[in-house]
Amino acid sequence: MTFELLSVGTELLLGSIVNTNAQYLSRRLSELGFNVYYTTVVGDNPERLKAALEIAAKRADAVITTGGLGPTGDDLTKETIAEYCGLKCVMDENSKRRIIERFSRGNMYMPESNFKQAEMPEGCIILQNDNGTAPGAIVETENCKFIMLPGPPLEMKPMFDEQVIPYLENFSDGVIRSRSIRVFGLGESAVDEKLRDLMDNSTNPTVAPYAKTGQVELRITAKADTVDKAKAMLVPMQEKIEKILGDRVYGTGIDNSMENVVVGILRERGLKATCAESCTGGLIAEKITRIPGSSECFDCGYVTYSNVQKADMLGVDCDTLKKYGAVSEQTALEMSRGARARSGADIAVSATGIAGPGGGTAEKPIGLVYISICSKNTHRAFKLKLNGSRENIRERASLHALDLIRRCALGLELKI
Amino acid sequence: MTFELLSVGTELLLGSIVNTNAQYLSRRLSELGFNVYYTTVVGDNPERLKAALEIAAKRADAVITTGGLGPTGDDLTKETIAEYCGLKCVMDENSKRRIIERFSRGNMYMPESNFKQAEMPEGCIILQNDNGTAPGAIVETENCKFIMLPGPPLEMKPMFDEQVIPYLENFSDGVIRSRSIRVFGLGESAVDEKLRDLMDNSTNPTVAPYAKTGQVELRITAKADTVDKAKAMLVPMQEKIEKILGDRVYGTGIDNSMENVVVGILRERGLKATCAESCTGGLIAEKITRIPGSSECFDCGYVTYSNVQKADMLGVDCDTLKKYGAVSEQTALEMSRGARARSGADIAVSATGIAGPGGGTAEKPIGLVYISICSKNTHRAFKLKLNGSRENIRERASLHALDLIRRCALGLELKI
């Protein structure tokens, strides 16, 4: 079964927004084992929308549209598809009731035009919208299925995941389940090398890598007749990967960002962490406090950009700063020790380095970063040589610091 | 002249990357006054690429492709377009020389396959690539122009800006120049209301608003016969906008992000700032230190998440915390005062609030944030009621804090 995505919206053609919907759907469909051969963007123009629809319907077994389901006269996706399929749009009373409820819950005035959103192509499958007012719809014709989703990603994604995937599973040989595994401390090519045999020899479940800044995400996807069987197939593959990559695997849950994993581990073990930041400038603290509930494991962070403040706020010895410089193993060590002592946290990390674009020397080039960790049982520093932009260097340094907190809290080998 | 964008790359269809190239080009073309009616994504497949090309060439006066110019067998954009136009690809010696130079400069081994990148459709206009190895090309046929750009955004964007825009200006009535104006503290609808008349009555230059989180960007675009004339036309429009929006306009330069503007102002005036952060958790410090050279105006920041640390690190009175709570005007005031006193900075800001998703009460709901500013001459706090996700609330709170630093440093009225 081949798919085509058709994103509808003049704001996309003007470049006001980036088409993240197409990426999301492309990725999900490929994970489900379906092919996407084309994606198209068209504006809120009935003739051009109709023309794009005709081309897409001829090329694909299923067309997924996003956008154009809103209440205004510009929103024409449903009407255009209905017309193309020779269907009338009729009021769906259930959708109408849900729209009224939504507005009254928010104590908002509801313009009559909103009811347009409840007029659905006759005989379609209605996709409820739990996060907005516009329902989605599926229209099936002999040659092509049209799946209409709302444009806002916060409405589109759950509708696709919760309602469209179960529908699509009917057209797949079975059900499909996938799991994401996050890897830190190995580059994409290193992960590829280590998993090459496993990936080449796996057809079900499959394993696919995606590179992110400083990390690799692996997605295992299994196909089976039942959900339980598919889920069960994921387990041994995950175990194989974990055996090969060891503790480089840091996250296997649903929200498996590094900061979420770290906050989860700290909370679970009743530990507190702190950070002393120079080159990362607050990024480590900011990442930790992104996570709701981080106040249980994080009391404070120190952003010590100047030498004076490294001494004042963290008690770094002025002689250390003079002798070795701010970007040195010694300073990193004293920063983490000072942060732990002053905050009373169980684990302290520090980061000091040269993020660029200026400030590099032959001896201490841009990308040189020292990370240190201090706990009851350990006090160590690591030297990083990072590449890329200032943003990249800061991002990678903060991930290394968080990974050290994870390793320390779990009693794993401390390494970068 | 109508345009169509054709992005080539299987990684786009797999959803491994998001199509930011299409957004960039869409936006730039619309700023230049050209229409984009469709954008299409197709994989590295010669038949489907050819089919997409045929459709695009029929619909548009010019097709801009991105991707598929690399050295591998998968990279087929140039070859497919040449074939479609009935042209041979021939070695361009200048491009070949540049590729060799690039590799030898980096001391890298160069696979022979790289020379494929220097084989260009005969008679094409060659677009030099200063940031990579693949040159771009323009092929003109009677009915359609094909503009081929490399896929990596860091190569594509400068090539488009520096070489394609001057080329396109030949097909426009003149040259086009634009300028971005950043506005903070007014919502999109408020900006729209204030500028509605101006926008409706302006055809050259035009003014278009783009909403960003907590901010609005206005883009003024002028068309004239010469660059100087176009640039000169931007000035009175900018002045009109600044007159209407007053000090809500915070940035008019090239990199006019709030943090860049604030760091620029502080450096220019020889002032230092600091921040005491609770709900923003390091985001204010992180934003400031994103900017190269921020060490001149920023020595340190305090992330005080717990009450104990608000007292310890900033000297907030325990009675204040007990009586008014951590999220209160009083605590915010004492945080900024303490941060200023302890850091020795000229200006200190603080932020304390409830970012959610938990922790809200009827009296202190999610989104309630107090921001305070303290300088030699002023010590004030502001109450914010913000909407949205945790991320959104933190982002907006940090922008308000930065805007207060800006206002304080410039001697403007302090307001939110």
Q: Is the pLDDT of residue B1 over 80?
A: yes
Looking at A139-153, B57-71, B170-184, B348-362, which range is the least confident one? B170-184
Q: Is the pLDDT of residue B106 over 70?
A: no
Q: Of A254, A262, A342, whose CA–CA distance to A296 is shortest?
A: A262
Q: Which of B29, B295, B356 is the closest to A305 by Cβ? A: B295
**Top-confidence residue, B297 or A11:** B297
User: Nearest CA of chain B to the CA of A334: how many Å?
Assistant: 17
At a CB cut-off of 8 Å and minimum separation 6, what does B241 contact?
Answer: B181, B195, B198, B207, B218, B220, B249
CA dihedral sign of residues B190, B192, B195, B196 = negative
> What residues in B contact A66, CB-CB < 8 Å?
none
> What residues in A contact B295, CB-CB < 8 Å?
305-306
User: Nearest CA of chain B to the CA of A171: how many Å?
Assistant: 19
Q: Are B302 and A306 inside 8 Å of each other by CB?
A: no
Q: How far is CA A264 from the centre of its chain?
A: 17
Say how many CB pairs under 8 Å bridge A and B: 200
Q: Which of A15, A30, A288 is the closest to B15 by Cβ? A: A30
Looking at A312-321, A380-389, B348-357, which range is the least confident one? A380-389
Q: Is the pLDDT of residue A357 over 70?
A: yes
Domain ranges of chain B: 2-171, 175-251, 258-410
Q: Is the pLDDT of residue A338 over 70?
A: yes
CATH topology of domain A175-251: Alpha-Beta Plaits (3.30.70)
Q: Are B309 and A299 inside 8 Å of each other by CB?
A: yes
> What residues in B contact A48, CB-CB < 8 Å?
37-38
For the domain spanning B2-171, the CATH number is 3.40.980.10
ipTM above 0.90, yes or no: no
Q: Are A298 and B305 inside 8 Å of each other by CB?
A: yes
- Beta bridge partner(s), residue B303: A301, B277
Residues A300-320: what's their mean pLDDT?
A: 98
Q: Which of B13, B20, B27 is the closest to A36 by Cβ? A: B13
Q: Which of A55, A301, A357 is the closest to B55 by Cβ? A: A55
> What residues in B contact A14, CB-CB < 8 Å?
26-27, 30, 36
Q: How far apart are CA B368 and CA A344, in angstroms?
A: 29
Backbone angles phi, psi at A149, to 5 degrees: -120, 150
> What residues in A contact B393, CB-CB < 8 Å?
none
Q: Which of A13, A40, A295 is the closest to B305 by Cβ? A: A295
Q: Is the pLDDT of residue B107 over 80?
A: no
**Digit-coded pLDDT (tens) for B12-38:** 998 888 999 999 999 899 878 789 999
Q: Are B18 and A16 inside 8 Å of each other by CB?
A: no
- Beta bridge partner(s), residue A63: A4, A146
Q: Are A281 and B286 inside 8 Å of each other by CB?
A: yes
Q: Are B48 and A38 inside 8 Å of each other by CB?
A: yes
| pLDDT level of residue A106 (50, 70, 90 thresholds) | low
Q: Are B285 and A298 inside 8 Å of each other by CB?
A: no
Q: Which of A293, A300, A357 is the closest to B313 by Cβ? A: A300
For the domain spanning A258-410, the CATH number is 3.90.950.20
Q: How far apart are CA A290 and CA B303, in angstroms?
A: 13
What the block records as the tokens of A62 is 């299923």
